[in-house]
Structure 1
Amino acid sequence: MKAFLLSAVLALLWVPTAAEVLLQPDFNATKFSCLGYVVSMASDCKVFLGKKDHLPMSTRAIKATEEGGLHVHMEFLGADGCNQVDAEYLKVGSEVHFRVPALGYLDVRVVDTDYSSFAIVHIYKELEGTLSTMVQLFSRTQDVSPQALKAFQDFYPTLGLPDDTVLMLPKS
C-alpha cells in the first residue's frame, strides 16, 4: 500500500514537469495512424537498462480511435518467438496527451512527428513499482532518416537521459 501511495504522489508531483515537454502542435491522430518501427529508445528504466543489449526492433500498428485515442498493436521478438500486445492509448486533455493503464504508462506525449517518416514519443511510466522516463523514436521504415535521428538525439538529453541510456535497436 505504501508503494502505491508513493507512486501516486510522485506521479502527481511529476505532472507539472511533464507540461514542460514540448508537444507536436496541431496533432492529427488520423495522420499519425501508421505501421512503423521503434528504431531507437532512451530510458532510465532499470528493466530496460538490464535488457537493452538483447532488445530487437519492434513494430507498431497505430490507428486513431473515434474517442480521440489510439489503438496500438505491438509485435516484438522474444525468447519464445513473436509476441503481440494490444493497448489502448486513452486521450487525456489535449489531442497529443495519452495514458495507457494496461502498460503502466502514466503519461504519453507525441513530441514531434512529420506524419510521413518519423515520430518521437515521450513516455513516463511505472514498472515494478518504479517511475521512469522513456523516449522512443518511431520510423515508418527500418532505416531512420538522419533528420529524425538528429531530432531524437537533440530531445532525449533535455529530459536528463545520458547517452549510455540510448539504444539503436537492431533490425529484426
Structure 2
Amino acid sequence: MTAVLPSLVLTLLCLLRAGAEVPVQLDFDTKKFAGMWHIMAAVSNCPVFLSMKDKMTSSATAISFTPEGHMAMETVLPLPEECKKIMMLFQHGGQAGHYIGTEKGEKRDLRVMDTDYEHYAIVYTQQKDSQEPSTMLQLYTRNQDMSPQLLQKFKKLFHSVGLTEDMLVVLPHSGECQKGGGIRVLSVWGCSSGTQHLQCGPCSSLFSL
C-alpha cells in the first residue's frame, strides 16, 4: 500500500487543480469497510474545530450499510458528564465510497479516500452551509494504534487538499465508554437541545471534549 499512496496524492493534486471532485477508494467494498473503527487523528480548517481540538479525545464508530447502500454510523462519545451515542445516516452519493448527509439545511459530503479495510481508512468530509464551507480529513484505525508510517500517509493526503499541520490533532485515547454501560442515545445527527459538541455545531466532527 505504501507504493500506492504517492500516486494517489499526485492524482488528487491534479484533480483538485483541475477543479474536479475529490476521488474515492477504487472499487470500494462496503462489506469489508463495515465494522468498528477508532478515530485517531483529524485535521480541519473549521474555526470551531481549531478552537477546540486540543481538548478532544478519540472515539469509536461502528459503521454499517443498509440494503439500499446508505451508510449508518453509531459513534460513542466519552463526554465529561456521561457517554453518549450519536446515530447518523449518510445517503448513497451515486458512487460506492461517496455519501451525503443533510440536516437543517446543511449538507455534508463524505468520501472514503483511502483504506486497506484491515488497518486504516482516511475519510474526507466537506460541510456546506450558509457560512463558508469547511473541510476535514479523519484517520480511522481498526485498533487503537497508529504507527508513524500511517500518520505520515495521513499527512500526505491532507496536505494535498490544502490543509496544514497546525490544523492537525492526534487524539489521545479515552477508555471511559469502552464497557458500553450508561450510554445515553441521542437522536439521529445527535443535535439535541443543550448538547455542546462539534457534531451539533457549524462544523461536523466525531470527537468528544
The TM-score, its normalising length taken from structure 2, stands at 0.70
2:99 is matched with 98
Q: Aligned pair 1:66/2:67, yes or no?
A: yes
Q: Which amino acid aligns with 1:32?
A: F
Deviation at 1:148, TM superposition (A): 2.6
State how far apart, in whole Å, the 2-side matches of 1:17 and 1:142 are: 36
Per the alignment, in what secondary structure is the counterpart of residue 101 of structure 1? strand
Per the alignment, in what secondary structure is the counterpart of residue 154 of structure 1? helix
Give the count of matched residue pairs.
157
Q: Which amino acid aligns with 1:162?
A: T
The equivalent position to 1:111 in structure 2, one of 95, 110, 113, is 113
Deviation at 1:127, TM superposition (A): 6.3
Deviation at 1:132, TM superposition (A): 0.1
Deviation at 1:146, TM superposition (A): 3.7
1:169 is matched with 171
State how far apart, in whole Å, the 2-side matches of 1:101 and 1:108 are: 11
Deviations 1:7-30 (A, max 9, x none): xxxxxxx9x8461x2320000111
Deviations 1:20-61 (A, max 9, x none): x23200001111001011000000011111110100001100
1:88 is matched with 89
Q: Which moved more, 1:82-91 or 1:112-121?
A: 82-91
Per the alignment, in what secondary structure is the counterpart of residue 90 of structure 1? strand
Provide structure 2 residue ranges, at least 5 long, that are not aligned to the other structure: 1-15, 175-209
Change (3 A) 1:105 1:114: farther
Q: Which amino acid aligns with 2:75?
A: M
Give yes or no for contact 1:105–1:123 (8 Å, CA) kept in 2. Answer: no
1:131 is matched with 133
Cα RMSD for the two superposed structures: 2.0
State how far apart, in whole Å, the 2-side matches of 1:130 and 1:47 are: 12
Q: Which amino acid aligns with 1:41?
A: A
State how far apart, in whole Å, the 2-side matches of 1:46 and 1:79 are: 22
Which one has a bigger Cα radius of gyration? 2
% identical equivalent positions: 33
Change (3 A) 1:77 1:87: same
Give yes or no for contact 1:88–1:100 (8 Å, CA) kept in 2. Answer: yes
State how far apart, in whole Å, the 2-side matches of 1:102 and 1:83 are: 19
Q: Aligned pair 1:40/2:41, yes or no?
A: yes
Change (3 A) 1:90 1:127: same
Deviation at 1:64, TM superposition (A): 1.6
Deviations 1:53-101 (A, max 9, x none): 1000011000121111211001112232212100011111111110111
Q: Aligned pair 1:56/2:57, yes or no?
A: yes
